Every structure is written in C-alpha cells, then in structure tokens.
Chains A and B, each alone.
Chain A
Amino acid sequence: MNVNISIATVRGPKNHRESKRNQDAILKRVWRAHWLVVVCDGMGSRPYASLGSYLACKAVCTTLRETNFNEPEKSVVKRIYQQWLMYLKDYLPRTPPKDAATTCLFAWGDSSGKVRLFQLGDGAIYYMTDTFGVNHEKSDNMFGNETTALGYSIRWQDWTYREIQLDFGATITLMTDGISDDIDKPQQFLDFLSGKFIAISPRQGKKYLINELNNWQTPHHSDDKSIGVIIWKKQHGSSTKE
C-alpha cells in the first residue's frame, strides 16, 4: 500500500528522572487492504495509566482487524470499548476502568485513500488534504491536561469522528497533548512534517521523531510525547497491486 507511517514515543523528562514508565502508547499496522495508527495517553493521575494506554492500542488493533471498514462509527467505538474493558478485566480483574483511564486517537484507512478519524480526549489529529483540518478543536474554556478518556466517559458524543479522502502527498499526524499543547501553529507544523516525511523512510522518520521529541524546546516540559505521521503516496483513483 502506498502509505508511509512513522511513529515514535518518548518518556517525558519527569517520568524519566523518576524511572517511571511511559504512560503513552502508540501502534501502527499495515494490512493487505487497510492501515491503522493509534495514539493513546494514559491519564497520569491514574495508577494503571500505562497499562490502560497499552491495552487501548491493542483493543483498537484487535477489533479493527476483524471489523468491516464500512461499519458505522458508533458501532466501531462500542466494539473497541468492550474489547478494552475485556482486556482490563483479564489483567486487573478487580480494578475499576477509571484507574486505567486513557485517551484514544486513531486513524483507520483503506487502500483507496479513505480515512476514518476517531478521537476521545485531548491530543490532536491534524490533516492536510486539499485543505488543512483539525479533527477536534479543543475548547478555549478548557485548561491544560483537562480531558475525557476511556474509563471515564461512555458517551458517544464525547468522541469526535471524521472521514477524509487522501490524495498524493496528503499528510495526517496524530499526537498526544504533550506535543499538541505546545504547538502554536498547527498548519505550519503539519506543512513542515509533510515536506520532511515525503522524502524519508518510516525507519528514518522514527529516528528523526525520537530525536526531536527528546530535545523538545518548550521550557520545563514534562509530559510523555507520542506522534504518528502518515504520508499518502498514491494518486486518488489510480490502481496498484497489493
């Protein structure tokens, strides 16, 4: 499939100093006819945040591998949520889900360039097709680290869902709030990523991202940071052998 996906996650300086785990999790999969990128941010105030984010990535992957790409969005979310709760029950039978609360952002695409974007909680998904877009605009009335999450909300209305169509060079990036809350100019940021990642391999992309995240320039930043960058390299309407 003509899609390049680079992902990276790094522990924030505070968790690093205190030898605590990265509470973010990130995953990418490219199957025969579909691809997937998931970014989850375990809520730091919760005791099993890192497990929650890991299991959320796993739940999205397991569920979507077995799900028809045209399944209604609400049904997709419901199946993922149920899978996450099942995993949690297996790992921590007596732990309430809120103790493993995590945000959940994912992009699920097919070989025609159609992409379904899902988001619960903070962080951001930016995309550049023929125009620039943001999947979910954070309310001005919120402050830093205010979010909803799997384990807190079971309301469909708390999710943001969008479908987009990619053409050659289109770019999507998903990131946790450790990055998005520090980005002042999202469109320029995505423009830069688009120019950078069109010319490098996912392996080079990962190396580059890890270096950039480990040298983040916002003073006193502390959060774990995770990002996925997707570059679509196929003309809309053209056919390729899978």
Chain B
Amino acid sequence: MREFAAAKPRPLPVIILADTSGSMSIDGKMEALNLALKDMLISFGKESHLNAVIQVAIIAFGGENASMILPLTSADEISGMQDLVASGGTPMGSAMTMAKELLEDKELIPSRAYKPTLVLVSDGSPTDNWEQPFAELQESERASKAVRMAMGIGADANIHMLKQFINDLETPVFKAHDAKDISRFFRAVSMSVTLRSRSTKPNQINKIDFNDISTDDELDLSDFD
C-alpha cells in the first residue's frame, strides 16, 4: 500500500519579489540584497529537520518588466544564484502579475503544498500600474491565500503601498535603513519559513518579531510600523 504514497515531500513555496530598479544601485542596497538572498538560499538548503521541502522562486522587477530570475526550485537543489543587477524603473505591477500566475499554477504548486509565502522588497514606488495587478492577486481565490510580507528599503520606500500589500497583521512592514537591516529581514524570513517547515502545522503562520533577530546594532521600536 505504501507504494502509492507520493515520493516527494509536501512543498512549502517561497516567492521573492525583488526590486532591481536603478535606485537600488545606490548606497550598496543591491549588493546587500544579493548577499541576503544568497544567505537565505543557503539557510533553506541546509535545513534537514523538515516536514516539508522549501521551494524558492525569485522574481526581479527593474527596467521595463519583471523577470523570473529563479524558477520555483527546491532549496536543496539550488547551487547558486546569479547576482541581481539594478537598472531602470520599478515595474512592480508586472511582478505581481507574474507572482499571481505562479501561485495559480497547480502543476508547479500542487494542492498538497502548504500555503506559499510571498515576500516583496522595494526601495521606491511602482512605476507601472500596480493597483490592478494587486487587486487581481487579492481577488484570486488561490493566490490570495499566500502569506504576504514586505520590506521597504531606505527613506524613499513607499511604505503606504507596502502596508496595503501585507496580509499578516502580526508581521508588519519592515523598514530597512542599511545593508545590515536587509540581511536581518531575510534572516527573519528564513526563520519564519524554517519554523513552518519543521512544524506539524506548516500552514500556521508564526508571528515575526524582528527584534528577536540578533544584530550588533540595536534598533528601537520606532523602526517598525
């Protein structure tokens, strides 16, 4: 009888929407984001006490349109990641459309998968029409179930827009001021996803307290919305 059981573990998908607009090249933001993403991929790949297999996709949005930099892949099969390069505008709406299509793809994300996590990272405001793609994401019965988290980088990040994006009120928008904060955010994301993948209840979302993430320089609570 056991031979009828699926040969693959249940997936826990994580989709990163990464801002690669021209402004990300300033103040080392792009380098910090590349490093943080690579650390996150290594962290996921090393996990061994899992009740699910973590899968990662990275959608970059810079220039004219979003592009799938890393198709949805099991973290333990990812050997590396090409560096993201900053240029052009902030086509966030295009990235949301791509994320929605991925979330609705029942071949890539089967129904036995645990609820996906969608992480949006941006240092500015969208330069395309994002409202309509976002509304479609929210209206999609399947895609709307993803856990949505967000990080705003620097003073120009559109926090108001990012607040609309998130759907877990216990995990507020994280405001990153420098490279260390970017790394810290992704460590928090890694911790949250890893905890879920180890849990007997992977659909239960863990509250993220960014203050729990160790760092050399302490931030006061006013950094968090």
Binds A, one of B33-41, B108-116, B152-160, B162-170: B108-116
Which residues of A (219-238) have their CB < 8 Å from a CB of B?
219-223
Q: Which residues of A contact B200 (CB under 8 A)?
A: 12, 14-15, 44, 222-223
Kindly identify, within residues 50 to 96 of chain B, every residue whose CB is under 8 Å from any CB belonging to chain A: 50-53
- Contact A182/B114 with A12-B200, A145-B202, A220-B53 known, Cβ cut-off 8 Å: no
Distance A143 CA – B111 CA, assembled complex (angstroms): 5
A196-B1, A220-B53 are known contacts. Are A140 and B142 too (CB-CB below 8 A)? Answer: yes
| Interface pair A138/B111, CB less than 8 Å apart | yes
B1 partner residues in chain A, CB cutoff 8 A:
189, 192-193, 196, 208-209, 212
Q: Contact at B6–A183, with CB atoms within 8 Å?
A: yes
The answer to the question of A215 belonging to the interface, with a C-beta cut-off of 8 Å to chain B, is yes
- Whether B141 is near chain A, meaning CB under 8 Å from some CB there, is yes
Listed residue (A44, A141, A193) with the most chain B CB atoms within 10 angstroms of its CB = A141
Contact of B201 among A138, A139, A145, A181 (CB under 8 A): A145
Q: Nearest CB to that of A196 among chain B residues?
A: B1
Tell whether, in the assembled complex, residue A181 and residue B4 are in contact, meaning their CB atoms are under 8 Å apart. no
Q: How far is it, in angstroms, between the C-alpha of A212 and the C-alpha of B204 when the chains are bound?
A: 28
Complex contact B111–A140 (CB within 8 A): yes
**A219–B142 CB distance below 8 A:** no
CB distance from B4 to the nearest CB of A (A): 4
A221 to B116, CA, bound (A): 18
Residues of A within 8 A of B26 (CB): none
A144-B6 in contact (CB<8A): no
Tell me whether A146 and B203 are in contact in the complex, defined as CB-CB below 8 angstroms, given that A181-B10, A196-B1 are known contacts: yes
Decide if the interface of chain B is mainly helix, strand, loop or mixed: loop
Nearest chain A CB to B130's CB is how many angstroms away?
A: 24
Interface membership of chain B positions 1-45, coded 1 if the CB is closer than 8 angstroms to chain A and 0 otherwise: 111111111100000000000000000000000000000000000
Task: Please indicate the chain A residues that have their CB under 8 angstroms from the CB of B5 in the complex.
Answer: 179, 182-183, 216-218, 221
Given contacts A44-B200, A140-B106, A209-B1, contact A219 B7 (CB under 8 A): yes
B residues 93-132 near A (Cβ < 8 Å) are 106, 111-116
Is B145 on the interface with A (CB-CB < 8 A)?
Answer: yes
* A193, B203: Cα distance in complex, Å: 31
Contact present for B114 and A188 (CB under 8 Å): no
A208 to B139, CA, bound (A): 46
Q: Which residue of A141, A144, A213, A218 contacts B114 across the interface (Cβ within 8 Å)? A: A144
Residues on the A chain within 8 Å of B201, using CB: 44-45, 145
Q: Which residue of B lies closest to A215 (CB)?
A: B2
Known: A44-B201, A146-B203. A212 touches B2 (CB 8 A): yes
- B4 touches which of A183, A208, A222 (Cβ 8 Å): A183
Known: A140-B111, A144-B111, A212-B2. A218 touches B203 (CB 8 A): no
Distance in Å: Cβ of A16 to nearest Cβ of chain B: 11
Contact partner of A181 (CB less than 8 A), chosen from B112, B115, B141, B142, is B112
Q: Which of B6, B106, B204 contacts A182 (CB 8 A)?
A: B6
**CB atoms of A217 and B142 under 8 A apart:** no
With a cutoff of 8 Å between Cβ atoms, the chain B residues found around residue A184 in the complex are: 4, 6
What are 26 A-B pairs with beta-carbon distances under 8 A? A12-B200, A14-B51, A138-B111, A143-B111, A143-B115, A143-B116, A144-B10, A145-B114, A145-B202, A146-B145, A181-B112, A182-B6, A188-B4, A209-B1, A212-B1, A215-B2, A216-B5, A218-B6, A218-B7, A218-B8, A219-B7, A220-B9, A220-B53, A221-B51, A222-B51, A223-B200
Top 5 closest A-B pairs, CB basis? Answer: A222-B51, A220-B9, A141-B142, A212-B1, A189-B4
